[in-house]
Structure 1
Amino acid sequence: MTEPSRNRIEAALKAYTDPHLQTDLVSAGAVKAIEIDGDRVAVRIELGFPAKSYAPQLTLALSEALRALEGVQAIDVQVDWKIVPRQVQAGKKPLAGVKNVIAVASGKGGVGKSTVAVNLALALAQEGAAVGILDADIYGPSVPRMLGTAGQPETKDGKTIEPKEAYGLKVMSIGFLVEEDTPMIWRGPMATGALQQLLGQTHWGELDYLVVDLPPGTGDIHLTLTQQIPVAGAVIVTTPQDIALLDAMKGLKMFEKVKVPVLGIVENMSLHVCSQCGHTEPVFGEGGGEKMAREYGVPLLGQLPLDASIREQTDSGRPTVVADAGGPLAARYRDIARRAAAQLSLRPKDVAGKFGDIVVEAAR
């Protein structure tokens, strides 16, 4: 009987295209070890993104692919993940303790960006990552209500602010520092200064991802974030109609100009499902997100329906990923989260943070 060879095993692994990475695991560098002992094969996979709910599916798929090889009698596939800092804008170092900052943006308001950002953060946490979320919408903070959190944050050292915690997330928002019905009548420099303080003076601890929910548009706060803060990647949220896509394209181009990679596009409210008869209808048009992704060469991370339960759950302070963790909508959010994190894992690793400041002195 022919014994399995490393080349045949690698070929079998290459035949499986990971749906999140959109490439095979060998090419993605996720195959960390292949051990052959007669007819026994052991493979160790290390993904660069959290995959708690996906790991069993991947283990089964790879086991079946290897079992089809001649000479293989026993298979041991181990799937794990390791999240490391990824490259940020030139000249920037990652935030202390925060491996990756992911910005969630939209070109216009009303597309459900904050709802997506909150559920994205919760989904990353459910998949096994340490996650924080910063509500960067200084003028209209909504994350505290969405997560059912309130009250003044504490400080333990008089210098940094302790973030609130909700459903495993570390949370910070200007909404914790002002009354909910108090308008923020600030000019641009004050708003951007507040954002920098919230980001830099919050004691985030050790995080794999910090999700930043940006306000809609491409204004001062966006420029501050992308020019002064190390951002590893951005997610663009849009709805299918032309006017929303036009604004989303502006947001995408803004990130391109400041050298922040766009990890992908989330098309929200893509279909409405009638609660009475189950009929589906593209209320806001269809195919827009897919067309935009194809035109700009970025992944379409996923499509989310126009569903009343998403709004109801978020308004109640228990977002969909928490309120109905086993349901199909939560599964969609987790899939989108894995896809975004997987695209980030394909980016070059950050090395700037490994070295201290280099001082060159003239010889005496």
Structure 2
Amino acid sequence: MARHIWRLFGQGINSAKKYDKLIYFRPFSRHNDQLGIQPQKNKLAGHQRELMKRGLPKRSNISNVENIIVVASGKGGVGKSTTAVNLAVALSEVDGEDGVGLLDMDVFGPSIPRMMNLSASPELDKNDNMIPLTNYGIHCMSMGFLIEEKAAVVWRGPMVMSAVQRLLLRTAWGKLKYLVLDMPPGTGDTQLSLSQLVAVTGVDVLGDVPLNLWIRHGADKGQPITVSHPGSPQAASYKNIATKVIQKISSLKTQI
């Protein structure tokens, strides 16, 4: 392909001098991948996907547990654990079921032992699975049962994932209709581990609770307000939420 080269000298276009010299060149390739990079990138991406699949645990069902309900929040100190405790008790009362469990997923700051007035170490069954502690008819498991109350837990991500996996899958829950998970605040290793390990039941926020100092006092004393003041407006709110949770789960199952 030949093209003319124009050079401008002097003032304006009128002083332009045209050179007759022709330059011949081969145009660049219009191929989308001139250097052959794309096949290598595709191969690398496929290899990375395979490595990630190997590193992630497979989702498992928790034996004899029908529904998993997650109580979570983006920040701490908003009453999430208090809600999880009272929701578990309310589910047991509203549904008339003995099969309600409560799992404290906060590895670094477990609060369920105090709120449920439990402090013993769990025993192991013949399969080396931990037997949950029970109070108020609720089967409970927490990292707080395995360490001293004031002991500091300083673990990296893989250790947190291992602990969460053991709490979830190596606890002898027995037959449970509902398992309430009290999550730590935020979106860290525990939340990621949970999403990779088990499938949770999808339930939205279904109510609110009138603030009252007795809710906090009861939690600090190991007496949930649904137990200590069952006729209070706060206890009624928790039971109302539990009723909606039960209805929502039933509705979800009919859609499957």
TM-score by length of 2: 0.74
Q: CA deviation at 1:192?
A: 1.6
Q: CA deviation at 1:158?
A: 4.9
Report the CA distance shift for 1:350/1:200 in structure 2 as closer, same or farther (over 3 A): farther
In the alignment, which of 152, 156, 159 is matched to residue 128 of structure 2? 159
Structure with a larger share of its residues in helix: 2
2:242 alignment partner in structure 1? 337
- Measured in 1, the distance between the counterparts of 2:254 and 2:128 equals 31
Q: CA deviation at 1:178?
A: 0.3
**Which blocks of at least 5 consecutive residues in structure 2 are unaligned?**
1-57
Report the secondary structure of 1:121's partner residue: helix
- Measured in 2, the distance between the counterparts of 1:350 and 1:174 equals 36
In the alignment, which of 160, 174, 178 is matched to residue 209 of structure 1? 178
Name the % identity.
47
2:106 is the counterpart of 1:124: no
**Which blocks of at least 5 consecutive residues in structure 1 are unaligned?**
1-90, 234-262, 266-300, 352-364
In the alignment, which of 231, 237, 245 is matched to residue 326 of structure 1? 231
Contact 1:232 1:344 in 2 (8 A): yes
Report the CA distance shift for 1:350/1:180 in structure 2 as closer, same or farther (over 3 A): farther
In the alignment, which of 303, 314, 332 is matched to residue 208 of structure 2? 303
Structure number with bigger Rg: 2
Structure 1 moving runs of 4+ over 4 Å:
none
- 1:189-228 equivalences under 5 Å are 189-228=158-197
- 1:1-364 equivalences under 5 Å are 92=59, 94-127=61-94, 128-129=96-97, 130-233=99-202, 263-265=203-205, 301-348=206-253
Report the secondary structure of 1:212's partner residue: strand
Report the CA distance shift for 1:329/1:136 in structure 2 as closer, same or farther (over 3 A): same
- Measured in 2, the distance between the counterparts of 1:179 and 1:334 equals 33
Report the CA distance shift for 1:92/1:348 in structure 2 as closer, same or farther (over 3 A): farther
Q: CA deviation at 1:327?
A: 2.0
- Measured in 2, the distance between the counterparts of 1:216 and 1:111 equals 9
- Measured in 2, the distance between the counterparts of 1:184 and 1:166 equals 26
- Measured in 1, the distance between the counterparts of 2:180 and 2:225 equals 17
- Measured in 2, the distance between the counterparts of 1:169 and 1:349 equals 27
- Measured in 2, the distance between the counterparts of 1:323 and 1:161 equals 29
Report the secondary structure of 1:226's partner residue: helix
Q: CA deviation at 1:323?
A: 0.5
Question: What is the CA deviation profile of residues 123-168 of structure 1, one whole-angstrom value per residue up to 9, with x for unaligned ones?
Answer: 0011113200000000000001000000110113151110000100
Report the secondary structure of 1:110's partner residue: coil
Report the secondary structure of 1:194's partner residue: helix
Q: CA deviation at 1:92?
A: 4.8
Report the secondary structure of 1:347's partner residue: helix
1:34 alignment partner in structure 2? none
Report the CA distance shift for 1:125/1:194 in structure 2 as closer, same or farther (over 3 A): same
- Measured in 1, the distance between the counterparts of 2:248 and 2:59 equals 21
Q: CA deviation at 1:349?
A: 5.8
Report the secondary structure of 1:264's partner residue: coil
Contact 1:94 1:100 in 2 (8 A): no
Report the CA distance shift for 1:350/1:136 in structure 2 as closer, same or farther (over 3 A): farther
- Measured in 1, the distance between the counterparts of 2:255 and 2:168 equals 20
Report the secondary structure of 2:204's partner residue: strand
Q: CA deviation at 1:93?
A: 5.3
Question: What is the CA deviation profile of residues 243-270 of structure 1, one whole-angstrom value per residue up to 9, with x for unaligned ones?
Answer: xxxxxxxxxxxxxxxxxxxx222xxxxx
Letter aligned with residue 157 of structure 1? K
- Measured in 2, the distance between the counterparts of 1:334 and 1:306 equals 15
Q: How many residues align?
A: 197
- Measured in 2, the distance between the counterparts of 1:303 and 1:202 equals 31
